[in-house]
Structure 1
């Protein structure tokens, strides 16, 4: 996996299993770009909506198979479907270590874990948006046993729909996402519940700060529960850091939080060889891949990284 040239291969077809907001948006974006894409969902309405977007409905899965299903059913999503034994399998799940353990055991080096950092509090096929991934970060797991060629196939799909690819390990992903996704969901729920306890007057006066701070609590509770419970250890550690912050003098806390949120670091373009160590260093520095070349990728890192 170290620095050898990896030839550019013809773009394989894509099969998306689960045609809700993420899977349906991905399939629609690929179909709109002229990429061969098929899809399947247990919900006939989701299948009909995807077909209207130009997606071929099929239970025959080939090329790159994308699992865009809820975490609790990730392991059984392919049951009853016919998958090409040479297909690359990836997922869009918000937790990676448990998914890697289950799907990695089933598919070996054919599996590449992924998680696009996008979506809204809405869900289902009525929330499909082909532009959903434009400008989004797409975490893509690069483990010691990951087949780099397969990793690149999935990376090229992410890039083709406008996302930027962040190379990570599953454990690094789960630690990071606990801090910036799982904990915000819990804080939004706590803020809404506490405001409810404050009574109807408080809720009637709620405006922008409350709306912005509680937006994600409108997400499907089953999704949020799976997110936080599936990543319980890192989420608990991240929540402990928040509790420690809340115990600080309030003026210091506000000043430090303001500084982090308003920092505007520039970007420095980089070219990185197709090497696991170099790619992971890019992700750890806060950078992302934006373009695939023959034996390199182009991307960026924050200024000073």
Structure 2
């Protein structure tokens, strides 16, 4: 397949390298000249403009930060192929794609990455075993296009989870965006405190890892999903206030145990164990127009994913509890 990747940072660069390793005919582009040179030195075709990179391709993956997407989409004004993205916020991207009249668009988000950034940090194995969201809107997603991308990404070792843009944005606010803000707040605890910095060990390292993410990326991610982040951040603040109140009681140890025991059990049970592999006939028998889309959404809402796209079937897995095993 002929594919272009626009934006060659950690995710885009890793995607370029993974697709090339899988035998696809891939071209790339990045607005930064030094990044283009790095990618060329690694043996990839990287023209000096986005229109040159996408010319003649069947799929374009946009891997630029949210603030740069309007320009990236403008560069695709006459493009007739399939367009996807890897942005960590999906609602604003969907709205932008509709506003700019993209003919064929399926939003995506690989739940992969590190605190490092740039093409030099890219890794063709980055997506092995990662969850890759591909958005399904019941009355707005071409399911043939969705399947094209699902087939492409599962072949890279990813697990493809179908969900709507709105449901994605609510979920990632809780498990990705708010944790970035919490990591930033925790990191302040060593500011001008050399003793604290010297004593910081495993819990500090694990709790603050993503604070090393480039500030512009974290700001774009959280700011682009501000309403959902505020909602989830308020839930965390409520929990912290409850813990503070428990610490002020005469017996804080006994007061804290029930709350901490519940969260201990939740964390020990994560990630959920996968159930047995299932084979889902595709397309499913449709009793109404949107049935195939709702079949995919039912899978994603249960935390299930697609591991392969075959002829007339999807190979899927659900979490063990959801699968009833």
Tell me what 2:68 maps to.
Answer: 73
Q: Deviations over 1:56-85 (max 9, x none)?
A: 223241211000001101111144x46763
- Equivalence map 1:1-305=2 (5 Å): 12-58=1-47, 59-61=52-54, 62-79=57-74, 81=75, 85-143=79-137, 144-196=139-191, 199-246=193-240, 247-248=242-243, 249-263=255-269, 264-272=272-280, 273-274=282-283, 275-305=292-322
TM-score w.r.t. the length of structure 2 is: 0.85
Tell me the secondary structure at the aligned position of residue 37 of structure 2: helix
Q: Distance in 1 between matches of 2:89 and 2:156?
A: 22
Indicate the larger mover: 204-213 or 258-267: 258-267
Q: Distance in 1 between matches of 2:128 and 2:293?
A: 25
Q: Distance in 1 between matches of 2:195 and 2:5?
A: 47
Greater RCO (Cα-Cα under 8 Å, separation 6 or more): 1
Q: Distance in 2 between matches of 1:82 and 1:193?
A: 42
Q: Output the aligned Cα RMSD.
A: 1.7
Q: Deviations over 1:5-48 (max 9, x none)?
A: xxxxxxx3110001111111101111111111111111222222
Cα contact 2:308–2:315 (8 A) shared by 1: yes
Indicate the larger mover: 237-246 or 135-144: 237-246
Q: CA deviation at 1:114?
A: 0.4
Segments of 5+ residues of structure 2 without an aligned counterpart are 244-254, 284-291
Cα contact 1:27–1:50 (8 A) shared by 2: no
Q: Distance in 2 between matches of 1:82 and 1:171?
A: 25
TM-score w.r.t. the length of structure 1 is: 0.91
CA 1:134–1:107: 2 relative to 1, 3 Å:
farther
CA 1:82–1:235: 2 relative to 1, 3 Å:
closer
Query: How many corresponding residue pairs?
Result: 292
